[in-house]
Structure 1
C-alpha cells in the first residue's frame, strides 16, 4: 500500500491543538476539535464550506450519537452537543476537578460503546485513565497515563489499541464481546516524535499521527512498521478515513508548542490535511448508549 498523493492542507483552521477528526457520512463532512482554541469545527470537502462553534471548556473529542446528535468530551465532563443551537448540556462529570485532568480523544466501537481517555492538563502527572461508556454506565478500564490517545479497535472487534503518548508506546488489549479488556501488551514503540491518535483501516493496519514527528505511520497488525507519510508540519495529531469510499485520509494538526520561528516556517500548522490511500478505512460508528 502506498499513498496516492502527498498530504494537502484542505482547511486552514489555524488550530492550536487540532484533534479528534470524525467523518460523518450523513453530512458528507469532517468534524474535529481545537482543544486549546475551545472550538468545534465542521468542514465540507465538496464545497469547502466550514463552520465552527465555541465550546465552554476544552473539547477533547466529539462522537456522533445514533439519534443524530453528538457527545462532546470537555474538560468538565461528557456533554450533549447540539450544532443547531450551539448548546452544550452536561451528561455527567468524569473525574474530580482537583486532578486538573481533561478528556482527550475518543472512539466509538462497532457495538456503539464510547471509549475515551483522560489526561493531566499540565502534562506532568500520571492521573489519566481510559474509560468506557455503554448501557452499564461509565467504567474506568485502565489507569496510570499522563497523556492518553485513542483508542481504536481492530476490524474483527477483538483488539483495542490505546496510546501512552509520553512513554511513546501503543498498547494492545484483548477486547471481549461484552467490552471487557484483558492481556495488555506493547503493540509498538515509537522512536521519533510522540504517537498521537490512532486509526485502523480495513486490513487491520494501525495508522498513528506523530506529534513533533513530521509523519504519520502505518503499522501491520503484527506491529511491524510498513508505511510512513511525510507532512509539511511537525505536529500531526490524529487521522480519520472519509469520502464515499473511505479512502481519503483526513489529518488534524497543531501549532501548540512551536516557537515563532517554527510557526513562520510552518504556516500550515494547525490546518486540516488530506491524502488518498489504496486501502479503505473502517466506517464511523455512532454511540448507542448515550
Structure 2
C-alpha cells in the first residue's frame, strides 16, 4: 500500500477508472469537487461542481454523468460545464445522491441519502433509456452502492448505518427480485461504505471508521482485509492497464483536531496491487 495522491479530501468518494483516459476520477462530496488523477504523471486536476457531488461515471460520448444533490447532470471536462438532466427526488430537498455504478448494459444504478444522516429517506434508483425509476428496495438513511456482479445478474446494496450489505437478483428487464442478507459488519469494524465487485465476483467494501477495506467471497465469507493508515475509508476502484491496481478514497469528515493530527494521511487517495483484476466500467447509456 502507498499513497497515490495527497488530496486531503473532506469526503473522498466514488472512484472510477476511465479506460479511455487511463485515469482515475473521484469526488470530494463536501467540497463540491471533481478530481481526475493521472497515475502516469501523478497529476491531479480539479473541477468545481455547482452542488454536492456524490459520483461521476463515464458516458458513451466523451462526457460524464454526475450525481449532484440537485439530481443527475452531464459534465463536460473540456468546458467545466454542467447540464441538468433529471431530479429523481424533487420532493426530498434534504436528500442528496451518494453512490452509483453502471451494469453491463450501461444502466446507471444509484442511491440517495438524507444529508443530515438521521432519517430513512434514502432510496435506490435506476436510470436507463426510458428514464429514471425507483428500484423498490427498502428505504435507508445512507444508501451506498449499488454494485453489480460481473454478469449483471446480482445487485449488491449497502445500508451503511444498518451495517448490512444485501444481494438481490436482477431480471432481464432491470426489475429486482427478493433481497437477501449478504453480510453484516460487526460494530467494532466500522460502517460499510461503497461496495465494488472484482472479476471473480468478490465484493470489496470500504469501512468508514474501520481503518481499511474488506473482500468477501460470493457466498459472503470474509477472505481478505487490507489495512490503511486512516480510519474513514470510503470506496475501492480497480485501475491500471490490467485493472490490477486498487485505488481507495478516504475522508477527513468526522475527525476532530486530535484525530487529524494522529492521521495525517486522512482524505488521501491510496493504492495497492491485487491478484484478481477488477471489471471494466461500462459507459452509461444516459
Segments of structure 1 that go 5 or more residues without pairing to the other structure are 1-6
1:69 aligned residue: 63
Secondary structure of residue in 1 paired with 2:254: coil
Query: Are residues 1:28 and 2:31 paired?
Result: no
- Contact 1:99/1:120 (8 A) holds in 2: no
Query: Are residues 1:91 and 2:85 paired?
Result: yes
1:53 aligned residue: 47
Which one of 6, 9, 20 corresponds to residue 15 of structure 1? 9
Distance 1:175 1:199 in 2: 17
Distance 1:50 1:144 in 2: 36
- Contact 1:15/1:255 (8 A) holds in 2: yes
2:226 aligned residue: 229
Distance 2:76 2:150 in 1: 30
2:152 aligned residue: 157
- The offset of 1:155, in angstroms, is 1.3
Secondary structure of residue in 1 paired with 2:258: helix
What does residue range 116-155 of structure 1 map to in structure 2 within 5 Å? 116-141=110-135, 142-155=137-150
- Contact 1:127/1:143 (8 A) holds in 2: no
TM-score (norm 1): 0.96
Secondary structure of residue in 2 paired with 1:181: coil
Secondary structure of residue in 1 paired with 2:246: strand
1:3 aligned residue: none
Segments of structure 2 that go 5 or more residues without pairing to the other structure are none
Secondary structure of residue in 2 paired with 1:128: coil
TM-score (norm 2): 0.97
Distance 1:22 1:68 in 2: 15
Q: Cα deviations across residues 23-53 of structure 1 (Å, max 9, x unaligned)?
A: 0111111000000011000000011111000
Distance 1:88 1:28 in 2: 23
Distance 1:185 1:143 in 2: 12
Distance 1:273 1:166 in 2: 24
- The offset of 1:119, in angstroms, is 0.2
1:111 aligned residue: 105
Distance 2:61 2:269 in 1: 27
- Contact 2:104/2:151 (8 A) holds in 1: no
- The offset of 1:183, in angstroms, is 1.3
Q: CA RMSD in A?
A: 0.8
Distance 1:195 1:117 in 2: 15
Distance 1:287 1:234 in 2: 32
Query: 1:98–1:115: structure 2 CA closer, same or farther, 3 Å change rule?
Result: closer
2:241 aligned residue: 244
Secondary structure of residue in 1 paired with 2:112: strand
- Contact 2:141/2:159 (8 A) holds in 1: yes
- Contact 1:8/1:273 (8 A) holds in 2: yes
